[in-house]
């Protein structure tokens, strides 16, 4: 099983939207309530392909595949910010997240970005810690009227 990473292509939107929704509802549900995951990833997020496509035409995600099946993605901004970082709920703990972090770190080095950072869920915090990220602060964010706890985490990149 070989994990490959590549840049987003316009036909990927539906697959990425599904990964976003179903990962939150199948994986993050272990650390958040149903109300919280519904606010974070409402059912409408699956069908809002136009909104996703518009976003991803400007911020090109890195996509992970196994045998040409999309199994994860990450959005990496020019300021070092990692926005969305999701691994398909059926491909957890198989190296997909590691491949995505490696791709982000390579992109950071290419762009001479010394610090990468993200707002990380309770669920993803141990993974990011294992990848060398440290907690900057714990915070509560309000999404669609619902409070969720997450962590601002960062990693310094050796250029």
Domain count, the chain: 1
Q: What is the DSSP pairing of strand 81-87 with strand 115-121?
A: parallel
Q: Mean per-residue pLDDT for 37-51?
A: 94
Question: Is there a domain that residue 141 lies in?
Answer: no
Segment 77-129, tens digit of pLDDT: 999 999 999 999 999 999 999 999 999 999 999 999 999 999 999 999 999 99
135 within 8 A of 105, measured Cβ to Cβ: no
Segment 5-18, tens digit of pLDDT: 999 998 999 999 99
Question: Is there a domain that residue 40 lies in?
Answer: yes
Q: Read off the pTM.
A: 0.95
CA distance 112 to 109: 5
Question: Is there a domain that residue 156 lies in?
Answer: no
In the chain, % of residues over pLDDT 70? 100
Note down the domain range covering 44: 3-113
CATH code of residue 12 = 3.40.630.30
């Amino acid at each position: 099983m070989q994990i490959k990473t590549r840049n987003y292509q316009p036909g990927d939107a539906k697959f990425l939207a599904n990964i976003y929704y179903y990962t939150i509802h199948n994986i993050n549900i272990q650390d958040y309530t149903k109300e919280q995951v519904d606010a974070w990833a409402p059912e409408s997020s699956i069908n809002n392909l136009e909104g996703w496509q518009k976003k991803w035409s400007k911020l090109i995600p890195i996509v992970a595949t196994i045998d040409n099946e999309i199994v994860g993605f990450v959005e990496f901004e020019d300021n070092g910010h990692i926005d969305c970082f999701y691994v398909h709920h059926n491909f957890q703990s198989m190296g997909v997240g590691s491949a995505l972090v490696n791709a982000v770190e390579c992109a950071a080095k290419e762009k001479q970005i010394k610090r990468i950072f993200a707002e990380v869920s309770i669920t993803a915090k141990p993974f990011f810690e294992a990848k060398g990220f440290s907690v900057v602060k714990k915070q509560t964010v309000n999404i669609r009227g619902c409070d969720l706890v997450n962590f601002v985490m960062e990693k310094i990149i050796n250029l």
